[in-house]
Chains A and B, each alone.
Chain A
C-alpha cells in the first residue's frame, strides 16, 4: 500500500520468497534448539485463541445435543425398555457395590490402612484440539490461575485421559494417552501383571514390556500403576483387548476423540520420598506432606468412585468429630512415637526394611483420625 516504484516492487517480490523460506528454516532450527521458547509461543497463541474456540464450540455442542435428541426421539420406546432393563441390572450391582464398600471399609480399618490424601481438582472445558495430525492432545480453558500445573492428571468422566504437559496463562495442554509420545505404567487387575501402555496415535494404545510368563488377559481391567511416581495407583484406564495374537492393546474407558469436559487432579505424587539412609527406621510419616491441608480422611484409593466417595466422606467427617486440622497436627507430632515403636507395630519394621515396610511403620502414626471417621 506504500507507493513504491514498479522496479522496487518487482525486486521485493523476487526477494520475498527466498527470504521467507530462510526465515522458516531459521524458525525450525530455533524451535528445535530452544523448546521452551516454542512452548511459550504456542501457549501464548493458545491463550489468545482459547476464548474464541470456546465461543465456536458452544453452538456446535448445542447442535450435536439437539441432533442426538432428535435421533433419540425415533426409538423412544425401545430406548425406554433398554434403560429399564439396565436399571434393573444396575440396582443389583448397586447392592453389591454397597456391601463391598462396607466390607472394604471394615477390612481397611482392621488393617490400619493408610488413607490416601484427597487430591484437589479443577474442572475445565476442552476448548481446542491442540494435537494436529501427528499427536493427540487437547487444550482446556483452565490454567495455572486455577491451579493447573504441569504433570497434573486429567480424567474424563469415565477414566484416565492424559496428563498436563504445557500451561499458558489461562489454558493448559493435555497430552492424551493415545499420543505417540505417551508412556504410562499400568497394572493389569486380573493377572496382576505390570506393563507400559504406549500410545501410537491409534485409538487404542499398545501394551508393552509385560512379563512373558504372565500375558495380559483379554477383557481385564487396566489401571495406572503408582510405580514411576508420576501417577497415583488405581486410576481406571481401560480394558485389555487383543487385536491380533500377541498384540494386546488397551481399549480406553475415556472417549478420547470426543472429550468435552476434563477434571484435572493435582495428586501431589512427587512428595513421596524414599528414606535416604538405608539402615535407619524412617520416622517421618509417608504421607505427611500430602496430608498437611487437613485432609487425612479415609479415601478408598484413587479410583474415580473413590475420589467421589472420598470427597463426600470428607464432608461428613468435617461436620462431625474432631477438626481435620487437629488430626493433621496429631499426625505430625505422633510420628516420632511411631518410630519408637507403639504396641501395634512392634512386630514389624526391621531396621533395614524396604521403603514399603517403612510405610507400614508410618501407618499407626496416621491412624488416630481413622476411627473417628469410622
Chain B
C-alpha cells in the first residue's frame, strides 16, 4: 500500500509487459503447488500404477517438505491447506485431516529451514524420514479416531516406507526445477 518499489516504473510504462511479467511470475510461483495438485489428481485416476494410494501421501509430503524448506514463497500455508483439502476430498478421507498434517509438516519445515539448508542431502533425508513417519502415524491415528475404528497398520507402514523412498526423487526433481525453471525474482 505505502511503498511500492515498482510504482514509478508502472506509471510510465504501458501495462502490457508488466502484466505479462506479473502473470509469468505468478505462474512460476504457483508451479510447485500446481504440479502437486496435478500429481494428486493423476494418481487418483485408474492408471494401474501399483500402490498409487499408498504412494500419494508420501509424494505430497515430500513435495511440501522440499518446497517449504527451499522456497516457502512457492509453498505457502494456504497452498498447503488447499492441497491437503484436495487430497481429502479426492481420497474420501475425513476432510481436513490431510490438510492439518501437511500444515504441521510445512510449519516445522519453514521454521527449521535455515538450519536444514546448511545440512547435507543425507541429513535432510534423515530429518524428512523422521518427520514423514510421524506424519503418517498421526494421519493413521486421526483417521482411526474420526472413524471410531482402529485402521489396519500395514498400509500406514507401507506409506511411511514409500514416503522415505520417494524423497530423493522428489528432491532431485525439485532441485532441478528450482534452479532451471521456476526461479522468479525474490519476492519479499
Residues of A participating in the B interface, judged by any CB pair closer than 8 Å: 1, 3-6, 8-10, 13, 16-17, 19-21, 23-32, 38, 41-42, 45-46, 49, 52-53, 56-57, 60, 64, 126-135, 137-138, 173, 180, 200-202, 258-260
Contact = CB atoms under 8 A, between A and B. Distances in A.
A180 B151 contact: yes
Interface string B90-108: 1111111101100110110
Given A1-B26, A132-B53, A41 B151 contact: no
Contacts of A1: 22, 25-26
7 contacts: A24-B100, A32-B146, A45-B89, A60-B46, A129-B52, A130-B91, A133-B93
B100 A57 contact: no
A27 B143 contact: no
A10 B52 CA distance: 38
Contacts of B44: 49, 53, 128-130
B103 A134 contact: no
Contacts of B54: 133
A134 B151 contact: yes
Nearest to A41: B89
B103 A17 contact: yes
A141 B146 CA distance: 29
Given A1-B26, A42-B92, A260-B46, A28 B151 contact: no
Contacts of A46: 90
B77 interface: yes
Specify the main secondary structure of chain A where it touches its partner.
Answer: helix
B1 A31 contact: no
B4 A17 contact: no
A13 B76 contact: yes
Contacts, number: 152
Contact of B89 (A28, A42, A201): A42
B168 interface: no
B107 A17 contact: yes
B41 A49 contact: yes
A260 B45 CA distance: 11
Contacts of B84: 24
B20 interface: no
A41 B102 CA distance: 20
A5 B142 CA distance: 39
Contacts of A49: 41, 44, 90
Given A17-B103, A24-B103, A25-B100, A129 B77 contact: no
Contacts of B41: 49, 52-53
A57 B46 CA distance: 6
A173 to B, nearest CB: 7
A127 B46 CA distance: 6
Contacts of B56: 132-133
B14 to A, nearest CB: 18
Contact of B47 (A9, A56, A173): A56
B128 to A, nearest CB: 19
B110 interface: yes
